[in-house]
Structures are given as C-alpha cells and as structure tokens.
Structure 1
Amino acid sequence: MDLQKAIIQRLLAYAAQRDVPPQELCALADISLQAVQHNSSTPLALRPQQLEALWQHACALSKDALFGLHLGESMQATALGAVGLIIQHSATVGEALTQAAGFTHLITDLFGMQVSHDKLGCRVEFIPFATHSTATGFAFRQMMDLFMAYTLHELDGLVLEKISPLRVKMPVTAEHLPEYQRVLRCHTVEHSPDYVLDFAPRLWELPILSANYELQQLLLQKVSALQDGISQIPHLRTRLSSYLLANAYLGIPTLEDLAANFNTSARTLQRRLQEEGITYQQLAEGVRKSLALHYLASGTYPIKEISYILGYNELSAFTRAFKRWTGSSPANYQKN
C-alpha cells in the first residue's frame, strides 16, 4: 500500500476538479504522471524539491493559497486505503486514532501524529520531525493543513455525525482565519507554532460504525465508474456531481460550503452552473435521487438511515421528495 502515492493521486484528482491540468502540474514539478497513475508495487519516491514544487504550483495554478486545507476537506476517509485496516482492529474512535498514528510514517516523513486523552478531553497533535528548514517549507505547511482537515473527515467516516473540535492550535493569519474556522468547524482557532486538535472527552469512547465506512466504499466505486480520477473533466456540473457523490456519506453540502472549497463565491459558482443550464439545487437534487435509488436497491440500509445520510432531518421530508422523483414511497420501491 503506497500511501504517499495515494496522496499525490488525490492531489492531482482534486487539481483536475479545480481546472488545473494534472499533466501541466506534474510537468512543472518534474514528476512523471505515468508513474503516479500506474498501480504498480513500486513506491513513488519524490525528492523534497519535487514535492515543494508540486504544492507551490498547485496553489498558484488554482489561485488558492489554502489548496492543502481544501484538499483535506474534500478527501474521504477511504481515500488512502488505510482506514479499512484501522477499523478491523478498532472498536472505538480512540482505538482508531491510536492505530492511525502508527500509519503516519507511511504517508509522510515530515511529521508524526500523537494522540492522548484524559478526563478533560482527547488530543490529536502533529509533531514535526524534519529539519527546521523543511518544517517551515511550503510543502510542509500545505501537508499540515491537509492532515488537520483530513483528520476530521476520517473521524466523520467512522461515526455517523460531523465531529467538531473544542479548540484548534496552528499557525494561522488573520486573513485566512475565517476559512480555517469553517473547514475545521471550530471558532476557537488559536495562532500557535503547534498543530493540535482538541476534542470533547466523549469522542474517545465513541463506537465506530463500520457500515458507514462500507457506505463510503460504495460511493467511491460509484464515482470511479463515472470518471478517471485524475483526468480532466470538461463540464463543471460533472466535476461537482462527482465531488458531491464522493462526499455524500457526510450529507450534501450547502452551495456556500461547496463554493468555499472550490475557492470561489457562491454567486460565481451558481452563475457558471446556470451557463451550463442547471442550478445547484437541481444538481444536488439529482445526486440525492441517484443515491437514494442506489441505496434502496441494495437493500442494505434502513430507510431512516438513508434519509439522514442524504441530509433530510425528517423521514417524512425524504418520503415526499422520493414520491416526487418516482411516484412511489421509499418503502414500496425497496419492496418491489
């Protein structure tokens, strides 16, 4: 399992969603796109200069100084292939975090992950073990942003709720503070040389729901059938549909949250979709319908759970929407 290669593959896939050609990005960083795409057992070994260039050009071409943060927000817990192994040996979130800390060295040699807990809460801390010059470099900062955001997504993937930290510590400028608060779901983001996520004590003993992880795998299989992960996709509506499908186990995001992840305004995103003849509401509704039919046909998930996953707070609201789409109730559709 080459987790470093998986990170680069996800970076390039996300760059393609952001209108950045993976071919151009690899060329600028002197990286072989073929080596990244090839699913061989040969590890992808990148020089520090290549990694630095890759992140710098990803930020520059996407015009997004927080590219790593937004990549971490968009990544699914299944993306690196390690979570499946973690949940096989974990019953609680605390056990899973402890297992995850042991995998960090397989992903990066820039920092390690340390977890601890007591009666006041539990803490996830990322500790640099690189030289000072490397630990303050561009790639290091982007990777730290990525893993701070990805850790939250990993937790979301293990339980059927969105986890919010009590406090976050990390180097952050006033200019970017609101976006860090949004992505990390925390108003208490303190400027600090450390990288820390503090959570409530209950998180440590929270049981893992492996069925939710299995659901993510189904979603990613569905997305993979629609597109090649790191190829360019011509239409914005297709890119956004793929993004919504891949992250649908966390619910359908608002237009504002989706626009922020793509480093644009909600108005601009809506205007670009309208130029393609569709609104965001129609796009989200289409994704919900597709997923509802998929889940119900599988016969694996209770209707109430499907309703919750698709963002409906009330089962009655989901039932009304499903009748509007199909003319049938979810129960009758599943039965037939």
Structure 2
Amino acid sequence: MGTAAVENVRLVLAAAVARGLSPGMLLAEAELEPHALLAPEGRVPAWSALRLWHVAAERCADPAFGIAAAEHIQAGSYGALGYAMHSSATLGEGLRRLVTFFRLVNQRATLALLEEGDLVRVRFLTEENIPPDMVRHPVECVLFAVLRFTRKLTGATVWPLSVSFQHAAPAELSAHSRAFGDALAFSQPHSELVLSRRVLALPQRGADPSMAEFMERHLRRLLQELPPEETFLVRVRGVLLEELRRGEPSLEALSERLRLSKRTLQRRLKQEGTSLQQLLDEVRRELALRHLSDSKESIAEVAFLLGFSEVSAFHRAFKRWTGSTPGEYRQALP
C-alpha cells in the first residue's frame, strides 16, 4: 500500500500535542507503534499516516488543522529533502527538488510543478480511489508549507494568484484566507497553488550549491531504496485473499475495502484485462494447489478456506482448473 516518511507522523503529533492531545492515544487510533518514530529516516504505512491526520484533525475539531500543522515545519524537517530545498540557489531549483523527491514524503501522492506561460502551478495529486475530503488536511498542509517556503527562503512576500482545492469548503474560512489570501476556490478539479512564473527565478538567501548537490545525491539513493509499490492487481488480489476467509467475496465488499465505487472497480479491472471473477478464480486455484500440496487439511477444510459454501462446488471448480478432482490430485503427488 506504499509508505510515508515518519516525519509526517512527527509533524501531525507536534500540531496535535500543541492543542493538548495525547500522542499515545493518537498513535493507537492510527494503529502506529511508538517505536516507529525512532528511526531518523524511518517509514510507516501511508494509510496509517493518513489515518493519523484524520484522527488528529477530528480530535482537535479544527477545520484548518493542516494549515496549523504547516507552522511546525522547520528547516531540518524531512531531513535531506528539507536541506536540499533550503540550500538551492533559486526558488525554482528548490521547488523542482521538492517535486522530484516528493515520493520520499509519501509514495501515495505526487507533487507536480506545471509551467504554463506566465504561470506556474504547484499541484497536489493523490490516487483516484482516495476521496478528496479524506486528504484535505495533508493537502492544505503541503500547499501552505510550499507558500511559507517561498517567503522564508527568498525574503519576498509571495502571494498566490489563486488557490484551489478538490475538497469541499469548510464552514469557517478565516484561517484559509490568512494563509492563502482571498482567491480561494473549493470543490475544484485540482488542488493547486497558482503563482507568477517569475517567482521561480527568485534567489534564495541560504543558497549553498555544493550542499544542495550533496543532499540530492543522498536523496537519489533513498529513492532507489524505497519499497516497491503495489500494483492495482496486487492490491485487489491481497484483498481477495483476506475476504476469502469470510466466504464468497462480493463486489460490494471489495469495492468498500479498496475505497472504490463498484463501477470504478469493474472499470479498472477491465483496463487491466481481467475481471473480478477471473481474479477470484486465479487466486482460488493457486491457493487450492498450495493447500492440497503442502498441508494436511482435509478437502472439505480446503474448500472452506477458499470461500466455497459447498464441497461439491469446490470439486467442480478444481476439475475445471486441473482436469482432476482434489482427491485425485492429492493422490498423484509424489
């Protein structure tokens, strides 16, 4: 499911603790272990990090929790990435490094820098199965942090030409207006800051090209060491395996687990050249062969483990897969 930098967890906790919340309680609700915070460049499951954002914002009852959290980001936050940005020669170099290495922050999100004529768009992108309201706080945090970064490192008072968010507007907008100005729009196709392209050429006050290059080399090594991301089909198969323990997996149960509509799930599977029934068949066949070969379980027990309500249905399916019955297959094993 992808990972996120442990600094995401530290950032959320710092903002929540400043509001009087217990870090232990928040970590427990997000299913995160305290020892996960110890490694300097450690990583945690991306979904747990996102859940922590949601839990903390809900407990603080703050519709602008992401904006408040951005205030806790310091020069050394996010380790080598933070130092590489701060030592870049120009704002444009710093932003390009942030975009290039943003996967180190979170493997399930992308930051894009789109240069269009006199404009530049800093756009936050997430996977299509994640509802916009679920990521509202990290999105607002990242975009406000980018804006603070432009001001702090250049000394220039940079205001966006416009700011848009995919998520819906909160009831109270005063914190958003203070952070981004009044050119705000919600429920839009993209979450992005729009800046004048001229700001990319602004020199940074802490420029150190040698340090920036050194940090970039380190960041490239870290990028190569990231755990491989699961493909969509691997994720679906993983959920299928878990759902089989409860019986026959349904389209409704899978779409809910994957946070996709039933229609979207079917469309994505079709794009991959398969279907839910075909994947289920493949998973069951692999499991059946493995259980019959490597375990002492009875054929009835194997049928139950594969989600079949009747042993006869398992027999028919196995004969279709292999041309023999489960009993004949097991007897023929060396």
TM-score (norm 1): 0.55
| Code of the aligned partner of 1:65 | P
| Code of the aligned partner of 1:169 | S
* 2:175 aligned with 1:182: no
Cα 1:188/1:164, change in 2 over 3 Å:
same
Matches within 5 A, 1:99-118: 99-118=97-116
**Root-mean-square deviation over aligned CA pairs:** 2.4
Q: Secondary structure at the match of 1:23?
A: helix
Cα 1:52/1:121, change in 2 over 3 Å:
closer
User: Partner residue of 2:201?
Assistant: 205
User: Partner residue of 1:151?
Assistant: 146
Counterpart CA distance in 1 for 2:192 and 2:21 is 31
The CA deviation string for residues 300-319 of structure 1, in whole angstroms up to 9 with x for no partner, is xxxxxxxxxxxxxxxxxxxx
The CA deviation string for residues 132-155 of structure 1, in whole angstroms up to 9 with x for no partner, is 2x24352x2221111111111222
User: Partner residue of 1:258?
Assistant: none
Q: Secondary structure at the match of 1:116?
A: strand
Alignment partner of 1:141 out of 132, 136, 143: 136
User: Partner residue of 2:128?
Assistant: 131
Q: Secondary structure at the match of 1:198?
A: strand
Cα 1:136/1:149, change in 2 over 3 Å:
same
User: Partner residue of 2:63?
Assistant: 65
Counterpart CA distance in 2 for 1:106 and 1:97 is 15
Q: Secondary structure at the match of 2:115?
A: strand
Work out whether residues 8 and 49 of structure 2, in 8 Å CA contact, stay in contact via their aligned partners in 1. no
TM-score (norm 2): 0.55
| Code of the aligned partner of 1:197 | L
Work out whether residues 64 and 176 of structure 2, in 8 Å CA contact, stay in contact via their aligned partners in 1. no
* 2:163 aligned with 1:168: yes
Q: Sequence identity of aligned pairs in percent?
A: 22
Counterpart CA distance in 2 for 1:157 and 1:148 is 14
Q: Secondary structure at the match of 2:203?
A: coil
User: Partner residue of 1:96?
Assistant: 94
Matches within 5 A, 1:271-286: none
Work out whether residues 73 and 183 of structure 1, in 8 Å CA contact, stay in contact via their aligned partners in 2. no
| Code of the aligned partner of 2:39 | N
User: Partner residue of 1:5?
Assistant: 6
Matches within 5 A, 1:313-324: none
* 2:22 aligned with 1:21: yes
Work out whether residues 76 and 157 of structure 1, in 8 Å CA contact, stay in contact via their aligned partners in 2. no
Counterpart CA distance in 2 for 1:9 and 1:70 is 14
The CA deviation string for residues 31-78 of structure 1, in whole angstroms up to 9 with x for no partner, is 112221x1355x332262x33432232022212132122212442343
| Code of the aligned partner of 1:23 | G
User: Partner residue of 1:303?
Assistant: none
Offset of residue 119 of structure 1: 4.5
Cα 1:72/1:58, change in 2 over 3 Å:
same
Higher-Rg member (1/2): 2
Tell me the number of residue pairs that the alignment of Structure 1 and Structure 2 aligns: 203
Counterpart CA distance in 2 for 1:56 and 1:69 is 14
Runs of 4+ in 1 over 4 A off after TM superposition: none
Unaligned runs of 5+ in 1: 213-336
Work out whether residues 96 and 113 of structure 2, in 8 Å CA contact, stay in contact via their aligned partners in 1. yes
Work out whether residues 117 and 204 of structure 1, in 8 Å CA contact, stay in contact via their aligned partners in 2. no
Work out whether residues 166 and 200 of structure 1, in 8 Å CA contact, stay in contact via their aligned partners in 2. yes
Counterpart CA distance in 1 for 2:155 and 2:59 is 35
Cα 1:172/1:117, change in 2 over 3 Å:
same
Work out whether residues 118 and 198 of structure 2, in 8 Å CA contact, stay in contact via their aligned partners in 1. no
Unaligned runs of 5+ in 2: 209-334
Work out whether residues 9 and 49 of structure 2, in 8 Å CA contact, stay in contact via their aligned partners in 1. no
Q: Secondary structure at the match of 2:43?
A: coil
